[in-house]
């Protein structure tokens, strides 16, 4: 993921797991790893700030 402001490749500042579909037994449970990106360009006004998130679906071992 690139910073939308300066275009430099952003770095991952945080990550956590989240689960969807828990509430209803009819929806399949999905596990996602959510990566938070921040700009690492000191010249950019978004430097050190969150510029986006990416969700990666994880396989759930049965
Ligand atoms: Zn930037």
> Domain containing 39: what range?
11-58
CA of 25 to the centre of ligand 1 (A): 42
Taking the model in full, what pTM does it have?
0.79
15 pairs with which residues across the strands?
35
Whole-number pLDDT of residue 38: 98
CA of 15 to the centre of ligand 1 (A): 19
How many domains, the chain? 1
Q: Could you tell me how far CA 48 lies from the centroid of its own chain?
A: 15
Mean pLDDT by 10 residues, the chain (62 residues): 97 94 80 96 98 93 70
Residue 54 falls inside a structural domain:
yes
Residue pLDDT, tens place only, 39-54: 999 999 999 999 999 9
Whole-number pLDDT of residue 48: 97
Whole-number pLDDT of residue 60: 76
CA of 48 to the centre of ligand 1 (A): 9
The DSSP call for residue 2 is B
Residue 25 falls inside a structural domain:
yes
Whole-number pLDDT of residue 61: 74
C-alpha triplet 7, 48, 9: angle, nearest 5° = 25
Residue 6 falls inside a structural domain:
no
């Amino acid at each position: 993921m690139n910073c939308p402001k300066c275009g430099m490749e952003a770095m991952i500042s945080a990550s956590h797991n989240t689960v969807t579909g828990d509430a209803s037994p009819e929806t399949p449970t999905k596990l996602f790893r959510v990566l938070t990106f921040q700009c690492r360009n000191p010249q950019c006004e978004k430097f050190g700030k969150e510029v986006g998130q990416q969700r990666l679906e994880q396989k759930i071992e049965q």
